[in-house]
């Protein structure tokens, strides 16, 4: 076998492939694996569909969230920076978005309350002067007060709660698979603003799966001619989407508890038998 011709052919093929790595419409092709993707809407999990399929409430609940943050105190494992947190710090925005998506709440801005107050001061100052701009010429109404306050946060993040793998090799040809499971836990509470009483409290847990699959060939095809090939892929569930799913699930359970205990009601009482509501009202709690 003419190995010089063989290696020249392989080298030429690689050069042609490398020339194909050019930018087209903002994306870049790759020799192996996925290429760069364009900006798109964030994908959602099944809990988002459950939020959108909830029956309508008798009246929307005016609610506010002051802070819903990471309370786990967990940082990324080495060799990542010890200052990088294990989970997102944007859980408040996630919860407010879930409240709007559910159609059950009128969420009020409280995380940026100081910014609102500053803008209102600017408007009042402008109204005291002549030639007031049109958008500042109307008297400011009072800020809307909330009936319910949602509290809680990300209270736990556990790494490597389950690990494992499987592999096999025969005559220098092998394949292996490894996985790791992390876990995030969220607490959500509904508090009556007028009395301070906690109406409902829910904890939800979501697993985060990481998986690696690899294969390889390692054998001599002729004397002093070694063939070695390797290929593999790793997939990790996006942590922020898992946190979002846990928050959406907690909100669904909270709404279902409130309906069951008559803290709030449905526009059509017969809709209490809707599949989505029944699923979250009667979800079993696993005992370990």
The answer to the question of residue 32 being in a domain is no
Q: State how far the Cα of 177 lies from the Cα of 167, in Å rounded to an integer.
A: 6
All residues at 6 or more sequence positions from 135 whose CB lies less than 8 Å from its CB, including other chains = none
Please report the pLDDT score of residue 223 as a whole number: 67
Phi, psi of 97 (to 5 degrees): -65, -40
Range of the domain at 102: 41-110+146-264+271-281
Calculate the average pLDDT of the chain. 83
Question: Could you tell me if 148 and 63 are in contact, meaning their C-beta atoms sit under 8 angstroms apart?
Answer: yes
DSSP state of 10: H
pTM score, whole prediction: 0.81
What CATH number does the domain containing 93 carry?
Answer: 3.40.50.10610
The answer to the question of residue 76 being in a domain is yes
pLDDT digits over 96-111, tens only? 999 999 999 999 999 9
Residue 90 has pLDDT above 50, yes or no: yes
The answer to the question of residue 4 being in a domain is no
The answer to the question of residue 61 being in a domain is yes
Phi, psi of 19 (to 5 degrees): -65, -20
H/E segment holding residue 200: strand 198-222
The answer to the question of residue 218 being in a domain is yes
Q: What's the number of domains the chain is made of?
A: 1
Residue 40 has pLDDT above 50, yes or no: yes
The answer to the question of residue 184 being in a domain is yes
Residue 24 has pLDDT above 50, yes or no: no
Residue 11 has pLDDT above 60, yes or no: no
Please report the pLDDT score of residue 23 as a whole number: 42
Please report the pLDDT score of residue 76 as a whole number: 75
Q: State how far the Cα of 250 lies from the Cα of 189, in Å rounded to an integer.
A: 9
Please report the pLDDT score of residue 286 as a whole number: 79
pLDDT digits over 207-249, tens only? 988 888 888 877 766 666 777 777 778 888 888 899 999 999 9
Phi, psi of 236 (to 5 degrees): -130, 130
Collapsing DSSP states into helix, strand and coil, what is residue 175? strand
């Amino acid at each position: 076998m003419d190995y010089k011709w063989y290696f020249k052919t392989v080298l030429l093929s690689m050069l042609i492939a490398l020339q194909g790595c050019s930018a087209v419409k903002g994306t870049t092709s790759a020799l192996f694996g996925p290429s760069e993707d364009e900006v798109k809407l964030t994908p959602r999990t099944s809990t988002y569909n459950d939020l959108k399929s909830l029956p309508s409430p008798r009246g929307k609940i005016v609610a506010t969230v002051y802070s819903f943050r990471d309370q786990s105190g967990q940082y990324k494992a080495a060799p990542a920076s010890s200052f990088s947190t294990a989970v997102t710090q944007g859980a408040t925005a996630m919860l407010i978005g879930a409240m709007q998506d559910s159609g059950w709440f009128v969420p009020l801005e409280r995380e940026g309350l100081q910014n609102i107050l500053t803008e209102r001061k600017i408007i009042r100052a402008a109204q005291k002067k002549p030639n007031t701009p049109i958008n500042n010429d109307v008297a400011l109404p009072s800020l809307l007060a909330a009936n319910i306050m949602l509290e809680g946060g990300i209270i736990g993040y556990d790494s490597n709660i389950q690990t494992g793998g499987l592999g096999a090799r025969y005559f220098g040809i092998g394949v292996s698979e490894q996985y790791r499971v992390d876990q995030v836990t969220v607490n959500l509470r509904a508090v009556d603003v007028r009395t301070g009483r906690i109406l409902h409290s829910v904890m939800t847990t979501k697993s985060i799966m990481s998986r690696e699959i690899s294969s390889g060939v390692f054998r001599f095809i002729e004397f002093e001619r070694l063939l070695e090939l390797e290929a593999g892929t790793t997939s990790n569930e996006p942590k922020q989407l898992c946190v979002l799913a846990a928050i959406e699930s907690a909100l669904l359970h909270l709404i279902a508890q409130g309906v069951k205990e008559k803290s709030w009601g449905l526009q059509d009482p017969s809709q209490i038998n809707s599949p989505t509501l029944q699923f979250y009202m009667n979800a079993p709690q696993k005992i370990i």
